[in-house]
Amino acid sequence: MHLKFFLAGLPLGVLAAPAMAITIDGRLDEPQWRDAQRIDAFAVVQPMSDSPPDLGTELLVHSDERGMYFGFRVQQPRTLTRTRHRTARDAQARADRVNLIVDFDGRGATAYEFTVSISGGIQDAIINNQRNFSYDWDGLWFHAVHEEEDYWSVEIHLPWTVAPMGTIVDGQREIGIYASRVVEGQGRRFSYPGYDFDRPTFVADMARIRVDAWDTSSLDLLPYVSAGRDRLRRDSDLRVGMDVFWRPNARNQLSATLRPDFGQVESDDLVVDFGAIETFFSEKRPFFTENQSLFDLTTTNGGRLVNTRRIGAAPDVGPEGSTDIDAAVKYTGSGQAADWGVIYATEDDSELARGRDFGVLRGRHRGEQLQVGYLGTWASRPTLGRSARVHAVDWSWLPAAGSSLRGQVIGSQVRQSPVAGNGFTAVDDDGFGGWARLDHAPSSRWTQRLEVSYFDRDYNINDLGFMRRNDYRDVLSATTLYQRDYPAESAIQNSSWYFETHYRENLDGERINASQMAERVVRLRSTGQLAGYVVYRAPFVDDLITRGNGRVGLGTRHEARVSYETPRYGRVRVFSYLRWLQEGEDGSAIESAVEPTWFASDNLSTSVRLTWRDSSDWLIWREGNRLASYRRDQGSLFWNLNWFPADRHEVRWRAQYIGLRARARQSYEVVGGDLLPTALVDEDFSLGNLALQLRYRYEFAPMSEFFFVYSRGGSAEIDDTESGFGGLFSQTRVGVIADQLLLKLRYRF
């Protein structure tokens, strides 16, 4: 059941008959478009010239009780090549496209992106912290494309419930908008307002317009049923559950999920990592990406205060794999100058571990220039006798166009009183951390960034958040210089220089990083791109490699990389790079990659990425204070294929393989910060990982879809490097660790 109630200053039940609705067919031929707001003051921003474009571009804006409508009409005669490339949702389209970004409450804090390509592919994203795009979000909106001889047009319908909205004043809402169109074959972008994505106050500086507004209410019920077959274990699984989204008005939303199914219709990239730092994986589950921007607080060094991948992750003890979630609920609300929200999730017990509980509380005050917020998280892990709390205060100050100052002060509290016999140690830690970042763009020709951070030894947000490390203080300074005024006869469209200086030390005063970086990016009028960087890193201490069993002093490091992406030649585009770096005690590595993409047709494309790395001194931890150096050969293959055989049908193939051969060179013990060679002989080894997924998707309507997914995984780890990569691949292929079929049906009522 899908219910909507429209309140336009009338008593409930006393509603005027709505006008004839706009049909979303891309044609822009309804009478409403004749009276719509018209915006045609677009400027050329790629390359940056601020001049009006030579191809007519206009945006039309209309609203009624059903939502907001945006129409693009863009001039592009068929004599000018129209670049087409159908993509899966949120994949980067290398095609002609239009881009609409809307700040629904007009406060300059959060915006939503809606991109439509000429082939009908779409992207949508949430923009936080002015320039951080998160494509995990998939909103409920509608679009269509239509082509004529001299132009093409796009219609976009955004229901009033697509995202949290601002308050209505005198029957209208003030919103911020940014619109652009890309002529892919020429590498040009036109936008309104006339600036590009590199502005530090990108969202805050968007144009403000007023639209007639309505308050609406909706109730969406999304039941699902999924059936899975594990061919390896020879068992089957049937699940039934439901997601519920209730929006009593455009400023409040309550979401709940009962026995959610997070079956593998999406897949993570393969990673082979021997390092001490955890790898971050982004969220893909719809319940945790919907209406999540209020809770999406990031820190420096890639940290996140709320990492919803912790919910339903592997149990605290017992076999690897996901944990079933009994239920989860999320509520968000907003007023004229404030936002608030809460998340609660509870897991089912697994075979050996009790389910965990998680909670998040968030509040934020929004002023014209200053925003201040609070976020608190809580995690209960009864199997470990552990509870964790985090409290954070965040702020964002926008003193002027092109300038922003952001930061956070964070406290963490971890208590662990081991349950009798579980073997875990007691923990009683109170940690502290904080950071501040200043971004400033004096002009369109250069930007500056200054960032400082401090996190003490007991700072720990990993029970519900994500951090790469604690126990450090650092400062980072970066400057970007842009050159956009190349003459028309130049092969270069625009270019940039990036300079970065970074210093980091642990709280014992040991230098763990001191580096300088220079990067050059050159974008060609042919749409190709050439880039390269060099890095110098002073001698430093690696205080993580032994996992708490000693620190290792390492020498000066240098690194360089060059990459090139070709223009699209017919139906082919190629990306490649070559990288050299120093590693280990006195060795180096060379890494190279090539990735051709073949656009077989508008509806079929495939790419293969081949990467090779040759390391002469790969230094890894073995146990205790013992390290080992290896000669490493590592190759990987990532193959993607996307096919759209008909409207609403999508077929995707993903194949990933990583193979590694390591020949032992030298064993070391860490004593007093030095690497002391030992007579111990480490064994050579080879490692292979393989992941395959074939997915068919049929979309009945937005948020209503059917999936058929076949997944297979293989792994091999052997004490042998002589059989070559062909033999390693064969053993990986037959070493099956996953072989699954999944059918899933979800339908929105």
Taking residues 437-450, what's their average pLDDT?
92
d(CA 111, CA 126): 6
Cα 665 from chain centre: 39
Residue 534 above 70 pLDDT?
A: yes
Identify the pLDDT of residue 262: 57
If phi over 0 gives left and psi between -120 and 50 gives alpha, with beta otherwise, what is residue 355? beta
pLDDT in tens, 62-84: 999 999 999 999 999 988 889 88
Lowest mean pLDDT among 223-237, 598-612, 677-691, 711-725: 711-725
Cβ count within 10 A of residue 446: 15
Strand duo 386-400 + 403-416: pairing: antiparallel
Count of structural domains, the chain: 1
Nearest to 152 by CA among 207, 89, 97, 215: 97
Residue 14 above 50 pLDDT?
A: no
Identify the pLDDT of residue 186: 87
Nearest to 737 by CA among 717, 712, 719: 712
Taking residues 634-642, what's their average pLDDT?
95
Taking residues 629-636, what's their average pLDDT?
95
Identify the pLDDT of residue 264: 60
pLDDT in tens, 265-314: 777 777 888 888 888 888 878 788 888 889 999 999 999 999 999 998 88
0.85 surpassed by pTM: yes
Nearest to 312 by CA among 327, 298, 302: 327
CB 384 within 8 A of CB 316: yes
Identify the pLDDT of residue 3: 34
Lowest mean pLDDT among 71-80, 131-140, 291-300, 391-400: 131-140
Does residue 28 lie within any of the structural domains?
yes
Does residue 313 lie within any of the structural domains?
no
If phi over 0 gives left and psi between -120 and 50 gives alpha, with beta otherwise, what is residue 298? beta
Does residue 596 lie within any of the structural domains?
no
pLDDT in tens, 482-491: 998 888 889 9
d(CA 668, CA 582): 19
Does residue 474 lie within any of the structural domains?
no
Does residue 677 lie within any of the structural domains?
no
Cβ count within 10 A of residue 490: 12
pLDDT in tens, 468-502: 999 999 999 999 999 988 888 899 999 999 999 99
Nearest to 94 by CA among 648, 656, 565, 593: 565
pLDDT in tens, 322-337: 788 889 999 999 888 8
CATH number of the domain bearing residue 101: 2.60.40.1190
Residue 580 above 70 pLDDT?
A: yes
Cα R_g (the chain), whole angstroms: 27
| Cα distance from N-terminal residue to C-terminal residue, the chain | 4
Q: Give the pair of three-digit tokens for residue 237.
A: 């699984």
Task: Give 376: exposed, middle or buried? Use CB within 10 Å, 0-12, 13-18, 19+.
Answer: middle
Three-state DSSP state, 738:
strand
Burial state string for 686-724 with b = 16 or more CB within 10 A and e = fewer than 16: bbbbbbbbebebeeeeebebebebbbbbbebebeebeee
Q: Give the pair of three-digit tokens for residue 211.
A: 């639209």
The average confidence (pLDDT) of the chain is 90
Give the model's confidence band at 11: pLDDT under 50 very low, under 70 low, under 90 confident, else very high: very low
DSSP 426: P
Taking residues 651-668, what's their average pLDDT?
95
Identify the pLDDT of residue 9: 33
* Residues sharing a CB contact under 8 Å with residue 569, sequence separation 6 or more, in sequence order: none
d(CA 317, CA 382): 11
DSSP 301: G
Identify the pLDDT of residue 421: 58
d(CA 8, CA 216): 9
Give the model's confidence band at 130: pLDDT under 50 very low, under 70 low, under 90 confident, else very high: confident
Lowest mean pLDDT among 79-93, 584-598, 686-700, 734-748: 79-93
Does residue 501 lie within any of the structural domains?
no
Q: 3-state SS string over 574-623?
A: EEEEEEEEEECCCEEEEEEEEEEEEEEECCEEEEEEEEEEEEEEEEEEEE
> Which phi and psi (to 5°) does residue 310 adopt?
-70, -30
Q: How far is CA 577 from CA 168, 277, 350, 573, 609, in A?
A: 52, 25, 45, 14, 11
Identify the pLDDT of residue 281: 85
d(CA 117, CA 590): 38
Element (H, E) at 345: strand 338-347
Does residue 676 lie within any of the structural domains?
no
Residue 183 is part of which domain span? 2-213
> Which phi and psi (to 5°) does residue 222 adopt?
-125, 80
Does residue 732 lie within any of the structural domains?
no
Nearest to 675 by CA among 545, 557, 558: 545
